[in-house]
Amino acid sequence: MGNYPKPNSGYPGLWWFEFGIRDVGHALESLAQRGFIQWAPKSNSVRNLKTDELKQILSSKGLPNTGKKKDLVDRILNEIPEDQLVIPNYVPKYELTALGESELEENGYIPYLGHHRHLTTEDAMFGEPFNVWMINKLFPDGNASNWRQVVGEIEERRFGVNMANAIKDEAFDSLDLDGKRNAIRQYLNDKQNEIQEGIKKPGDGYEEESQGLDYFSIGKDKEGLVKMYISIGKGFDAPALYRETSEKLCKYEMYQEAISVLDAGLRRLPDNNGHRNELIERKAKIESLLRA
């Protein structure tokens, strides 16, 4: 759970602004008393230490301090009991108990929304709110076990992509890089009619770009690229559209396609746009990869 309790720079303001908690320390103590969190053993922190720190611990116990980092970690965990483990500048941390894990799963919309790209503030200044407080009101009895269904339906209605219920594409994930690249190219080819029809629909491409980013956020890169190509076809001039699309294509070493996307972006962006150089530099790097 990060550096809690009592991090050096204080608790982030989000505890108050997002969750209405002023006294975070008291809240953590309350969670511990009720069995939701507990102190994590010091051994949990060993893997996060630097090599020099690992060697220092081993030397202090008269143990060999040579080998790769994994060897050093394993030696500490196997040779030094928890009650004799001394970590320099160690700061105790909390971890979830089994009860805490269960509670978090039942109320998983709270951490889920904390990282959501469409998260809003509580007020309705920019439209209908989408945040923890808004979702919390949908579970007046406190039973949020079906939160994925509820949040997913809201996402589908408002953003066009049900992210809360995303299912991993295990067949695609199991492929090697060449297989993934071929699968994406085949998928995009199969979706050409959908892309062309999407380009003809009203709109400037903003909605499709947003949906593409949503798909990317849940690992559905094939679906995301379809939306991005529709947005590009509509001539949307947001630099992020061309940057994010080219970056995703480069992930699968689809360099020629990435260059075509960047060329489209450079045609769309006006000469005085401050992001043109970014796209030009990105294109140059990709071209250098092709020449290598």
The domain segmentation of the chain, as residue ranges, is: 1-40+93-101, 50-91, 107-159, 170-291
Evaluate the omega torsion of the peptide bond into residue 140 and state whether it is cis, within 30 degrees of 0.
no
Of the candidates 105, 54, 100, 111, the residue with the CA atom closest to the CA atom of residue 80:
54
If one counts every other C-beta atom within 10 angstroms of the C-beta of residue 107, the result is 19
Q: Which fold has domain 170-291?
A: 1.25.40
Which pLDDT score is estimated for 2?
A: 47
Residues of the chain short of pLDDT 70, as ranges, are 1-20, 124-126
Sign of CA dihedral 52, 57, 62, 68: negative
The CA radius of gyration of the chain, in Å to the nearest whole number, is 25
Paired strand residues for 161: none
Which pLDDT score is estimated for 91?
A: 82
What's this model's pTM, rounded to 2 decimal places? Answer: 0.75
Which pLDDT score is estimated for 233?
A: 97
Which pLDDT score is estimated for 120?
A: 87
Of the candidates 257, 130, 266, 111, the residue with the CA atom closest to the CA atom of residue 187:
257
Question: What tens digit of pLDDT does each residue of 61-82 get?
Answer: 999 999 999 999 999 999 999 9
